[in-house]
Structure 1
Amino acid sequence: METKYDPSLYNYDLAPVKKEHKTWTWINFTTIWMGMIHNIVAWETAGSLIMLGMSVWQALSAVIIANIVLISAMWLNSVVGGKYGIPFPVIIRAAFGHKAAHIPVVLRAFVAIFWFAVQAYAGSAAVNAIFGALIPGWNGLSKFHLVGMGLNSAIAVVLFWLLHMWIVSKGMHRIKIFELWAGPLVIILGIILVIWSINVSHGLGPLFEQPSKLSSSQFWTIFPVSVTGLVGVWATLVLNISDFTRFTRSQKDQAVGQFIGLPGTAIAFALMSIITTSGTVVAFGKAIWNPVTLLQKFDNPFLLFFGAIALIIITLSVNIAGNVVSPGYDLVNLFPKKLNFVKAGNISIILSLFFVPWLWFNNAGVILTVMGAVGGALGPVAGIMFADFYIVHHRHYEINSFYLKDSEYSYSHGWNYSALIAMAVGTIISLIGLFVPTLKPLYSYSWFLGVGAGFIIYALLMRNTENKTKVREVSPAK
């Protein structure tokens, strides 16, 4: 007899992916990561290491170490999706219970929608720039204002948001196809800039021979913080990587594809940024790590146009994969009776408008600090997920229990207080440097502290709970 799942916990998009629909090969995982990694933030982050005074070799070593940490964490959390074909908001029920799971799910969705707004507004600026160069009188529309921005900017925002919605309209299949060509295409711009850098520097030699501007003590102060910052760019995706690996043809496909796509192309992309930024030191006497600023330096209309198109594709690529897939599944999880992935993805795109990024985009220090704190709170969730699958459940989940309110993952009426305590304490440890001045240096390692604390505290609490259960089971009846 077929198990009847609870409709408040189950629908088509939350169900395990059927074998015939597990079609993603290692190529798809490589290109999906290429599409996410090859973005303006990643380029600027890697290039800024040169600005801080590092040599090419020092900057490259920071990138390599950060990506080794990232791929290790991704692999650990990818296995569940590949094995059971289920997304993050379903997996998290095993640790938190079906009700308490809404807390980390909503937090993850909130962070993703916020970053969607940031990235999309940056991309709309590129659209606005292209229209300004091609359409006479376009820039003159800026004198008319709509919801706090010029009419030309408002039109660009609407068009760019609608472009995201069109890509999402066919679900994960269209996203897979889009990333298949978008990721590799972005490499072309990077190669052009690298060729220019090598040309102005008369070979790679001068770039790699530039000495570090940091003393030994300065380097060892900056280096670990730089590694943490590079990890932090993609740390939240560790939670919902199963949203992608649930479609994998095999565990080997997702493992190999992610290895090539994450540390592989990420290091190559960072190397392009580092080489190009080093070339700007030779060409202009100072490090320019912002690709838009660099493109403007060339004063070449064709290169500016091509560069703007590339930046638009970059933004679409990272935004769809990194900031729509997660809240899409998260919102479906909240309203499984009313939403599917496409509807939820489009709702998350619309919700991002309420962050009104055009009002604070150039002065976002306070908001970014708040978002950093929210992101830090997700570190313990990753640690809890690791501990739950590998330590508590010994790499085995009972698939039917995810979709039933009365199951081994129900805990206390849908609440696992061990997970909530581990998340709360882990968050305090993760963010303590933000509130205690003397411990401020610890905030640079917030994600690592959160992961470690969440893992240890949850594993210990669950072990204690399990031992108490065993004692009750063997106690003689009175």
Structure 2
Amino acid sequence: MNATPDPALYNEDLAPVPPEKRDWTWLNMATIWMGMVHNVVVYEAAAGLMALGFSAAECMEVVAVAYFVLFVTMWFNARAGTRYGVPFCVLIRSAFGPFGAQVPVVLRGFCAIFWFSVQAYAATQAVDAIVGTVWPGWNTASGLFIGMPLHRWGAMALVWFLHAWVMNHGVERIGNFELIAGPLVIVIGAMATGWALTVGHGLGPLFSVPSRLHGWKFIAAFAGGVTGMIGMWSTFAVNIPDLSRFVRSERDQVVGQAIGLPVTALVFTPMAIITTSATVILFGHAIWNPVDLLLALHHPVITVLGGAVIVLATLSVNVVANIMPACYDLINIAPRRLNFHRASFLVLGLGLLFAPWLWFSEAESIFHVLDLISGLLGPVTGIMLADFFILRRQYLSVPDLYKRDGIYGGRNGWRASALIAFVVGGAVASAGIAIPALAWINGVSWFVGLVVGAAVYLGCQHRRTVVKPQTGLT
């Protein structure tokens, strides 16, 4: 920093990571993604695709397209973080202005905390199953408190403590945690797949189920399936700089994400289908929830070990995909009062306020809320890409990102062009929810939001001119 930053926009956690401290390699990025892709929600997503009528092979095709699109998007959006070492909540200021940036930052933070809460509750169910298996008396504490049994509250306390313990070690140690967690989850998943292949004497009945979709129905369902898969990670598509700022080179972040994202997803999806296929043989119906499967097997050792893996997988995805981004978003709102340590505990507290145990019985409601937010984040992704690659030509004046009167300041800290693009893009992407005749947009809402947001943003910038790279743009 060669200029005095505004204290309302800067603290040590928001400051650029100096090149000498950007020491994450491709292996760090790959293992982080391995840990994130292996979680309960992604595991159950295969069930959602098969419920739409896809065959197992077609599920793989949907996953391949969705994760390839995600990889390309994150590859480009991560570049600014790697080049300048700043997080998403700071980078977005070049498009929205230092105060206008709070709009997408708060939206992203809300979604991150919500996802953390839901994922943590999935781990809570696993811990509850583990303790109840080891200590049967645990389940006798069945009195209800705010709609949840007391023994489940005890399990939730343990899960929240584990998250706090991991976060208390700071960003540097989180990378080391993922080096162990990501590959370990893959090894356990491979063991479960081996068991399923033995039980099913092959790939199992789910792989013999033919597709029920043909013609235009297949095309519409395919587009919806791809958008749904992208929707699960659309929040992370905007804040990937929060991770890439610690990576030592562009090559490392590209190679790491290529191995950790599409490749891992294509390995994990058939694992989920094969394992579930074995449950059809054993129980006569498919069991897609891993915790329900562990309890159905009635084997204490398997329940304990399997539950521990679910908890590890949840910690792995929650720490880097939800808590870390939410911390930066909260710090961006109040940099004078919050640092990474304080913000992480605030995220844990706010996560409880979402009362995930009340939402879990209404899974459709969860995804309706998250799909709406994902549709709004499509324009944010488009605006970020258009701003950095087309308008800024990949050059930013880092000191000006921390000043309210710098070249990105707009009018009193707000840049109308980005806000207009965000509103228009979000409205178009969400139009199918309010107007039945436009319901087809719901199947491609993320893509529509991205394209419209980028186009409107660039259209509002037609009078802007490029200035010298070292100073940024007007």
TM-score range, shorter chain: over 0.9
Structure 2 regions of 5+ residues with no counterpart?
Answer: 467-474
Cross-structure match for 2:304:
305
Is the Cα–Cα contact under 8 Å of residues 132 and 139 in structure 2 kept in the other structure? Answer: yes
Cross-structure match for 1:46:
46
Single out whichever of 192-201 and 426-435 deviates more from structure 2: 192-201
Cross-structure match for 1:11:
11
Cross-structure match for 1:338:
337
One-letter amino acid matched to 1:131: V
Cross-structure match for 1:470:
none
Shift of 1:444: 2.3
1:73-131 per-position Cα deviation (integer Å, ceiling 9, x unaligned)? 00110000000000000000000000100110001000101111111112112111211
Cross-structure match for 2:427:
428
- 1:137 and 2:124 matched: no
Cross-structure match for 1:275:
274
> In 2 relative to 1, CA 87–229 (structure 1 residues): closer, same or farther, beyond 3 Å?
same
Cross-structure match for 1:61:
61
Single out whichever of 57-66 and 437-446 deviates more from structure 2: 437-446
Shift of 1:424: 0.4
Distance, in Å, in 1 between the alignment partners of 2:214 and 2:458 is: 42
Distance, in Å, in 1 between the alignment partners of 2:323 and 2:135 is: 31
Distance, in Å, in 2 between the alignment partners of 1:84 and 1:229 is: 32
Q: 1:77-476 to 2 correspondence within 5 Å? A: 77-143=77-143, 145-204=144-203, 210-366=209-365, 368-466=367-465
Compute the TM-score of the two structures, normalised by the length of structure 2. 0.94
Structure 1 regions of 5+ residues with no counterpart?
Answer: 468-478
SS of match in other structure, 1:24: coil
Shift of 1:197: 2.6
One-letter amino acid matched to 1:333: N
Is the Cα–Cα contact under 8 Å of residues 17 and 86 in structure 2 kept in the other structure? Answer: yes
1:172-223 per-position Cα deviation (integer Å, ceiling 9, x unaligned)? 1121121111111112332122212322333349775553344445433322
Single out whichever of 25-34 and 399-408 deviates more from structure 2: 399-408
Distance, in Å, in 1 between the alignment partners of 2:327 and 2:113 is: 10
One-letter amino acid matched to 2:79: V
Distance, in Å, in 2 between the alignment partners of 1:352 and 1:289 is: 25
Shift of 1:367: 5.1
Cross-structure match for 1:475:
none
Is the Cα–Cα contact under 8 Å of residues 248 and 254 in structure 1 kept in the other structure? Answer: yes
State the aligned residue count. 466
One-letter amino acid matched to 1:158: A
One-letter amino acid matched to 1:448: F
One-letter amino acid matched to 1:261: G
One-letter amino acid matched to 1:349: L
1:258-288 per-position Cα deviation (integer Å, ceiling 9, x unaligned)? 1000011111111211233344445555433
Distance, in Å, in 2 between the alignment partners of 1:276 and 1:365 is: 24
> In 2 relative to 1, CA 41–367 (structure 1 residues): closer, same or farther, beyond 3 Å?
closer
> In 2 relative to 1, CA 205–276 (structure 1 residues): closer, same or farther, beyond 3 Å?
closer
One-letter amino acid matched to 2:42: A
Is the Cα–Cα contact under 8 Å of residues 332 and 340 in structure 1 kept in the other structure? Answer: yes
SS of match in other structure, 2:462: helix
SS of match in other structure, 2:23: coil
SS of match in other structure, 2:73: helix
One-letter amino acid matched to 1:151: L
Is the Cα–Cα contact under 8 Å of residues 421 and 452 in structure 2 kept in the other structure? Answer: yes
Compute the TM-score of the two structures, normalised by the length of structure 1. 0.93
Single out whichever of 314-323 and 252-261 deviates more from structure 2: 314-323
Shift of 1:132: 1.2
- The structure with more radius of gyration: 1
> In 2 relative to 1, CA 176–216 (structure 1 residues): closer, same or farther, beyond 3 Å?
same
Is the Cα–Cα contact under 8 Å of residues 50 and 277 in structure 1 kept in the other structure? Answer: no
Is the Cα–Cα contact under 8 Å of residues 125 and 291 in structure 2 kept in the other structure? Answer: no
Q: Please give the root-mean-square deviation of Cα atoms over the aligned residues, in Å.
A: 2.0
One-letter amino acid matched to 2:121: Y
Distance, in Å, in 1 between the alignment partners of 2:442 and 2:209 is: 31
> In 2 relative to 1, CA 430–278 (structure 1 residues): closer, same or farther, beyond 3 Å?
same
Distance, in Å, in 1 between the alignment partners of 2:149 and 2:264 is: 38
Shift of 1:466: 4.7
Shift of 1:294: 2.8
> In 2 relative to 1, CA 285–152 (structure 1 residues): closer, same or farther, beyond 3 Å?
closer
> In 2 relative to 1, CA 427–413 (structure 1 residues): closer, same or farther, beyond 3 Å?
same
Distance, in Å, in 2 between the alignment partners of 1:361 and 1:47 is: 17
Shift of 1:293: 2.8
Shift of 1:54: 2.3
> In 2 relative to 1, CA 78–2 (structure 1 residues): closer, same or farther, beyond 3 Å?
closer
One-letter amino acid matched to 1:375: S
Distance, in Å, in 2 between the alignment partners of 1:359 and 1:436 is: 29
> In 2 relative to 1, CA 28–421 (structure 1 residues): closer, same or farther, beyond 3 Å?
same
Single out whichever of 295-304 and 21-30 deviates more from structure 2: 295-304
Distance, in Å, in 2 between the alignment partners of 1:88 and 1:420 is: 17
Cross-structure match for 2:34:
34
> In 2 relative to 1, CA 445–301 (structure 1 residues): closer, same or farther, beyond 3 Å?
same
